[in-house]
Chain A
Amino acid sequence: MLDALLPILIFSALALAVIGAVRRIRLWRQGRPSPVPVIQGLAAMPRRYLVDLHHVVARDKVMSNTHVATAGGFVAAAVLMILVHGLGFANPLLGGLLLAASALMFVGSLFVARRRRNPPARLSRGPWMRLPKSLMAFSLSVFLLTLPTVGVLPEGTGSGILALALAAVLVWGLGEMVFGMTWGGPMKHAFAGALHLAFHRRPERFGEGKRSTGLKALDLNDPKAPLGVETPSDFTWNQLLGFDACVQCGRCEAACPAFAAGQPLNPKKLIQDMVVGMAGGSDAHYAGSPYPGKPVGEHAGDPHGPIVAREGTALVDAETLWSCTTCRACVEECPMMIEHVDAIVDMRRFLTLEHGNTPGKGAEVLDNLIATDNPGGFDPGSRLHWAADLNLPLMRDVGQVDVLLWLGDGVFDMRNQRTLRALVKVLRAAEVDFAVLGNEERDSGDVARRLGDEATFQSLARRNIATLSQYRFQHIVTCDPHSFHVLGNEYGALGGVYEVRHHSTYIAELFEAGRLHFAPWKGGTVTYHDPCYLGRYNGEYEAPRNVLRALGIEVAEMARSGFRSRCCGGGGGAPITDIPGKQRIPDMRMNDVKETGAELVAVGCPQCTAMLEGVVDASAEVRDIAELVADALVERPAHSGHDSARDPQPVAEARSVVKEVTP
């Protein structure tokens, strides 16, 4: 009896799955067109899955092994099941392999079940809670049904009530694993995820050490091109596909600083809301942690309706989008390679460019950027006032240098001016041929872009590129990772290609080349805070640590450091939009510092300095790497000096002696 029943069950499940797939693909295709290399993408998919995706999953060893067993077992079991039971290739070898595959899958599902017994808060419940049972139903029933095939049980066992019961369990398993894969349900992640990897919007991010973090430029020349994303169907189709691939593992939620601070953002919920919007409906069925302070079930949307309502509620509230610090912790953690930050900025663009609804001080900052080229509204002619006594060489005068020192908007901030002075001192001690743009420099456009004002970003960027094109330099060095990221990764699309280095990278190079000499470190314990825009955006984790090591400092690492560094709260215009939460992000970060027992936290970003120094009753002092380096500078060993008359210089007199050298 089963010999007749099994092929019918298997092929009807497959047929239903194909219908479901067509429906699902039509949901994705509601999005805007985005050309992808189909064949190339599909060909690259296995590698992206086995290497890139697994690299992220493997950060949790138990879960990664569980997934290998369950998913590997399932794929093998499904293929073999079609051969053995569907097409009737019932030879003992295939049957034996099928037994092994389903047994492996069963072992995996035991681990899935164990994890589901007391799931951490970040995991979604709801249908996900039945997944281990479904996995077991599938693997067990396939295993038992295959036993007669290999002759362990006599052929006749496949009849009677027992066999019918077994077939019923198999129907459950097939329903979840095959039918559910395309009709929605936990297994949807396998189908959507595989295609998402193949047709990812940023194919350049896959591969060893590769990253793609610059935001995509809007086409402002075409008056018909939409300005950002208003409705779910305004996303590109492969963005929608990416949202649909989410496994709701909540790793993003666990990493998100805004969620931890109690601001109304949860990256996982946001992605699920986009899925709700794409299919139409309300978020009532969402079974994970909500946006802090926002109960589930009050928001609904449809593919062609607004995501954010001008008044009242729609799919998502604006403050959810404005809570994001664009720190990319969610993107870094996402095993499905979903691009949360792209989506958030896309939606912000619409709010700013079409609604004119940037919250907090957003409107004022953008007006200042338009009128004065800096967010504070300062006189652009006063950019070099902080350096009135430093006699900095100007690009306008020299025209050609090795290093163009990009100062950033920190020139207007008295705290950051100390960092800049220290950096100038270091560059002069290493006799670097450098110059600054002075009053010709403008804001890089970072804040404008993260606040969604692509028009102001492009205006600033184009004018900066025009200025830079007048001069010749080897590379740009800056102490602002935000400028670093924008100049290095985002100006390229507008025609400005530069080699940009963070000052910590450059100082490390100078030290390697023997051009800097440091006195041994005499201070207390030091920890280092990785700026998001240096670390996750640009992959520079080592250089700052190398510099600290060169200073003789042994870094007491925080629990969250390197690619898991927690944001200071200063990125993405978050201090400007200032969405209230239960606690402040920099306070949490300073607590991380406190846990290491460090007396000093070294930073490499003016935003981080400002945010962390703003923490009341902090246990540690905040110093930029440039300041630590400048303090530790000592005269070079006498034999290496080429100008003995004025070269060996005590630290205290360094500045005045250096000054004489300047033309």
Chain B
Amino acid sequence: MRPEVDEVKKPKQSALEVAVLVSVGRHPVTGRARRADQDARGVELALTLDEARVTLLHAGALDEQSEGALRGYLGMGLPALTLIEQPQGADVLDALAGTLGDARPQLVIAGERAEQGEGSGMLPYLLAERLGWPLVGGLAAVEKVEDGVATLLQALPRGQRRRLQVRLPAIVTVDAAASAARQSAFGPARRGAIETEAAAMTWDEAMPEWKVSPARKRPKRLKIVKATSARERFKAAAAKAEGGGGQVLTDATPEQGAEAIFKLLKEEGVLR
């Protein structure tokens, strides 16, 4: 958008600009701050890309706990992390959208959802909407990037993969299907710089009104297997857990789509 930014970028066109959004994670057993698993997988994905210039972005506050967690990402071998300073209780969407809009990386990688806080998984979608970039979820790998088009491998359930092409810039999210993050080493983590950037701040109006309580384990959906032979048991185990219903709509108008969704929600008892 801004001419001076474009001028700076032009000489480095060969390098792929990648921004990874990282958050402060929470260990599932002890609740200690750590590098979030999915975000760390995102960093791993970025580090395995050829000729990529990787920047780490975190929007939040810097304190003793979060610094330890953020340095966990630096320990993977990156020299610096950009911290967009946001106080507790801020909606980081505006700040992130502003920074990404200015920096215009070609690829933004994020974890599917945060390990603490709202953890709704909405942030990448809202960012994509705000920036007008395409979003691909559940990424397993980036196969190649050529002429501003990335070939991606998307993970589907049961080990299936779908190859997609997307025009950059784009936002991709990774979940547990992506390769595990490399070990975080103490030396690079300690040396890495946390570069603070000020940014506009918007309060999250809704958040204070919410009541937060510990999650309960959700009951599992029962899967009734009526197999009598080993072969049938195997088939049942390997089969997709499908509702059976459902339909694929192609070339549907938005109205038709909305109607189908509305119908499904009624059937499932979500809407009454």
Taking Cβ atoms with an 8 Å cutoff, the residues of A that contact B are 223, 227, 352-358, 362-363, 366-367, 370-372, 377-380, 453-455
Question: Which residues from chain A contact B32 at a C-beta distance below 8 Å?
Answer: 370-371
Q: Give bound CA distance, A644 to B32, whole Å.
A: 52
Q: Can you sample 6 A-B contacts with CB below 8 Å?
A: A227-B187, A354-B188, A356-B184, A358-B183, A371-B29, A371-B34
A-B pair count, CB < 8 Å, reads 50
Contact indicator B185/A377 (Cβ below 8 Å): no
A371 pairs with B27, CB closer than 8 A: yes
Contact partners of A363 in chain B: CB under 8 A = 182-183
Binding site for A on B (CB under 8 A): 27, 29-30, 32, 34, 75-77, 182-188, 190-191
Query: Which of B27, B29, B32, B182 has the most C-beta atoms of chain A within 10 angstroms of its own C-beta?
Result: B29
* Residue in A357, A371, A377, A453 whose CB lies within 8 Å of B186: A453
Instruction: Tell me whether A223 and B188 are in contact in the complex, defined as CB-CB below 8 angstroms, given that A356-B182, A356-B183 are known contacts.
Output: no
Asked whether A379 and B185 contact (CB < 8 A) given A223-B190, A356-B76, A356-B77, the answer is no
Chain B residues, CB < 8 A from A367: 34
**Chain A min CB distance to B27 (Å):** 4
Report how far A355 CA is from B77 CA in the complex, Å: 8
Nearest residue in A to B75 (C-beta to C-beta)? A356
On chain A, the residues within 8 Å of B184 by CB distance are 356
Q: B30: which A residues are within 8 A, CB to CB?
A: 371-372, 379-380
Query: Shortest beta-carbon distance, B156 to chain A, in Å?
Result: 27
When distances are taken between beta carbons in the complex, the residues of chain B under 8 Å from A454 are 186
Contact flag A355-B185 (CB < 8 Å), given A223-B191, A371-B32, A371-B34 = yes
Q: Is the contact region of chain B dominated by helix, strand, or loop, or is it mixed?
A: loop
Q: Contact at B185–A353, with CB atoms within 8 Å? A: yes
On whether A372 and B27 interact (CB within 8 A), knowing A356-B75, A356-B182, A363-B183, the answer reads: yes
Give min CB distance, A490 to chain B, whole Å: 18
Minimum distance in angstroms from B233 CB to a CB of chain A: 31
Q: Report yes or no: B183 in contact with A354, Cβ–Cβ below 8 A.
A: no
- Give B76's nearest chain A residue, CB to CB: A356
Q: Are B185 and A356 neighbours in the complex by a CB distance under 8 Å?
A: yes
In whole angstroms, what is the CA distance A378 to B186 when docked? 23
In Å, the complex CA distance between A517 and B27 comes to 48
Contacts of B34 in A (CB 8 A): 367, 370-371
Bound-complex Cα distance A73 to B77 (A): 58
Least distance between A370 CB and chain B CB atoms (Å): 8
Of the listed residues A227, A367, A377, the one surrounded by the most CB atoms of chain B closer than 10 A to its CB is A367
CB distance from B38 to the nearest CB of A (A): 15
Residue in chain A with minimal CB distance to B68: A370
Hey, which chain B residues are within 8 Å of A355, CB to CB? 185
Bound: A464/B76 CA distance, A: 28
Query: Which of B30, B32, B77, B186 counts the most chain A CB atoms within 10 A?
Result: B186
Complex contacts, B182 vs chain A, CB 8 Å: 356, 363
CB-based contact B183/A357 at 8 Å: yes
**Cβ–Cβ < 8 Å partners of A362 in chain B:** 183
Given contacts A357-B183, A358-B183, A379-B29, 6 further A-B contacts (CB under 8 A): A227-B186, A354-B187, A363-B183, A372-B27, A378-B29, A380-B30
**Shortest Cβ gap from B92 to chain A (Å):** 25
Contact A353 B191 (CB under 8 A): no
Whether A356 touches B188, Cβ cut-off 8 Å, given contacts A363-B183, A366-B183, A371-B34, is yes
CA A593 to CA B34, docked complex, whole Å: 45
What B residues does A357 contact at CB under 8 A? 183, 185
Q: What is the bound-complex CA distance between A370 and B25, given in angstroms?
A: 14
Q: How far is the CB of A414 from chain B (nearest CB, A)?
A: 19
Would you give the shortest CB distance from B155 to chain A, in whole angstroms?
22
Decide: B185 and A354 in contact? CB cutoff 8 A.
Answer: yes
CA distance A454 to B75 in the complex (A): 15
Instruction: Return chain A residues, CB-CB under 8 Å to B77.
Output: 356
User: In this complex, what residue of B is CB-closest to A456?
Assistant: B186
Report how far A370 CA is from B77 CA in the complex, Å: 19
- Determine whether the beta carbon of A377 is less than 8 Å from that of B29: yes
Query: What is the CB-to-nearest-CB distance from B73 to chain A, in angstroms, rounded to a whole number?
Result: 12
Minimal beta-carbon separation of A412 from chain B (angstroms) = 12
A353 and B183: CB pair below 8 A? Answer: no
In whole angstroms, how far apart are the Cα atoms of A355 and B187 in the complex? Answer: 8
Residue numbers in A under 8 Å from B27 (CB-CB): 371-372
Which residue of chain A has its CB nearest to the CB of B26? A371
Cα distance A380–B30 in the bound complex, in angstroms: 8
> Which residue on B lies nearest to A366, using beta carbons?
B183
The chain B residue with its CB closest to the CB of A358 is B183
* B117 shortest CB reach to chain A, Å: 19
A353 touches B29 (CB 8 A): no
**Chain A hits for B190, CB < 8 A:** 223
Measured in the bound complex, the distance between the Cα atoms of B188 and A357 in whole Å is 13
List residues of chain A with CB within 8 A of the CB of B185. 352-357
Complex: A357 Cα to B182 Cα, angstroms: 8
Minimum CB–CB distance for A219 against chain B, Å: 13
Give the residue name and chain of the A residue nearest to B185 (CB): A356
Q: How far apart are the CA atoms of A44 and B187 in the complex, in Å?
A: 39
Which residues of the partner chain B approach A455 to less than 8 Å between Cβ atoms?
186
Q: Which residues of B contact A380 (CB under 8 A)?
A: 29-30
Please, how many angstroms separate the alpha-carbon atoms of A353 and B183 in the complex? 10
User: Closest 9 A-B residue pairs measured CB to CB?
Assistant: A356-B185, A363-B183, A356-B183, A354-B187, A455-B186, A371-B27, A353-B186, A227-B187, A353-B187
Bound Cα distance from A454 to B185, whole angstroms: 11
What residues on B are CB-neighbors of A353 within 8 Å? 185-187
The docked-state distance in angstroms from the alpha carbon of A370 to that of B34 is 9
Quick check: B29 and A372 within 8 Å, CB to CB? Answer: yes
Rounded to whole angstroms, the CA-CA distance of A355 and B191 in the bound complex is 13
- A637 vs B121: C-alpha distance in the bound complex, in angstroms? 71
Q: How far is the CB of B220 from chain A (nearest CB, A)?
A: 22
Instruction: Note all chain B residues with C-beta closer than 8 A to A352.
Output: 183, 185-186
Residues of B within 8 A of A366 (CB): 183
User: Whose C-beta in chain B lies nearest to the C-beta of A223?
Assistant: B190
